[in-house]
Structure 1
Amino acid sequence: MGACTSRRYRSQNVVVINDPRRLSREGNPEDFPPQFPEYWVTGDCPQPFHNIVECGTEEVTHVQDILDRTMFMANEVPHKMKISKLLRIEDSRMWHQYERSCACLSEARTQEDEPADVIRTPFSGTLQPKPLTWRLAPEELRNRLRLECNEAYLWHGTDRKSAEGIIGHHFDMKRAGSVNAKALGRGAYFAETSCLADKYSPLGPDGLHSLLLVRAALGRVYVETRYTKWRGGRLKRMVSAKNVVKEGKYDSVLGDRKYAFNTDAREYCVSNTSQLYPEYMLLYSREDDPAFLPGQPGK
């Protein structure tokens, strides 16, 4: 099957770099969704594609905005992070899988009594706030998200090699969660605060750190406030995201570190790759500036 011709061109201050390694696909082009995001440069391509797009000034401003607004963690002075380069991933196959997952979650959860974006702690029924990245996202980013499948942008911090592997071949669930000791079970882990994700982003060979801004269809979220407990003289994990999702009532897991580790931060664990789309890769530098203290976010 053919693919879009490899090319490099400029359109609306965006440089598109086709990656020929990812242009060979299996399947029928008609199986791909008829419409990709309107802000994508290659959304009208009839053949499978994988493009790495260097974003222009306006898009960098929006992502820098959400980076700054979510740079919050209690009792810590955050590093100011400045984007040096912002890359947008336009991948037809990954997007197709993600869209199908969003559609399935939307259909399943809209039949329930409570909308999927309402997050409650089991048993107590305590209402949890929506992800910080959703509440504080610029309007241009938040308007892209679908409430019916509880879609949100979330941060994923990792080293450069792993980040490049994710945007090229998606999350590897066999390795996912190893940095977190799989505290919530096997799955990919995400932060709602950029400074928490930054802790997992070591310096790259070019002197820059890397973060991924990932679209996640969270669906119905299970909330866990205790990560471990002693059982039979051994410390056991309280929850397995994979098992929780397999039961069918929930689609992802939210771990509240405030109760588990006395840290005012929350993290999400998603065990199904198709519920994730790694849309942006940020290459950024840290700037130590004690005067930079964003206000505590509202709920």
Structure 2
Amino acid sequence: MPSETTQTSLSLAFAFLPIRSLKHPTTTFEMVELNARQETSMSLPRKQARQTSKADAGILDEKILLLVFKSTNWNPFLLCRAACVCKKWSAIAKRLLWKEFCFSRAPKMVSDLVAGCRCKNGSDRLEGGWHTLARLMFFCGGCQATTNFRIKATSPGHFIRTSRFSKTSGRSFLPPVCRGDTLYVTDPCEHVIGQSEEDVGIFRGMFKGFSSCRTRRCLLQRQVPLEQNKLCPYCRAGVWSMIAARMVPNSAFRRLAAYDGNLEYFICVNGHMHGKCSLLPLSDSDDCSHLSNSEDEEQE
């Protein structure tokens, strides 16, 4: 059982978190951060904050914070709000809390990614930081039209409750010369674009030890320029277009069943991947039943 001091610190920590109903979360990662900043700036008057400064010392204890967010099952919405309380909490969240969140959600994948970093520099700090990996895990960045991918309307980003990452699927996105790299990729998140009901699949992924990957070496050797006016939606770093680099293998089209060859994906300098493809439109159930009946009649 936690001590009385620990229980008091836990209560104070929850009091500092501006919690609102999580049944209807906001639609974009930036809106959550903005709401958190507005709410925390109005949460306590200055005099009251000064009077409770000594009592708050326990809240800044990293062990206390770990207990607090472990009790919430590492709720990402609470973590976003807590990271906006103050600069110290933001630093602790980026260094420790988001790390624990990632390990709680995908322990095998994260352990493999950390192993790739340790082989390179002996540190367990991921390229881009833990907060960017956490964002990649539960946030779909949406899509918009680009030079090589034309759509009639844009689709906003949104939170995802669960995601499945697979390095077997990731091999399909690597050219043959780069098949030794390890890339974790999600299943496509289906979006219906505009009134035309155009189906677009949005996927994202992460390289293991990207700084030493063959994919990065090939991009640099080919002197592929970074895209202008295009940034990674997860770490805000520059990105390479794999279409522009002519490094998209045929296996990627087959893996996603990209309709009419409409596929594009980007890789940022920190090893995050995001992309989109047109999905094959399927007939409704009535059409399918009609086709099956006609086939039976022909067989008879």
User: Normalized against structure 1, the TM-score is what?
Assistant: 0.27
More strand by share: 1
Higher relative contact order (CA 8 A, sep 6+): 1
Larger Rg: 2
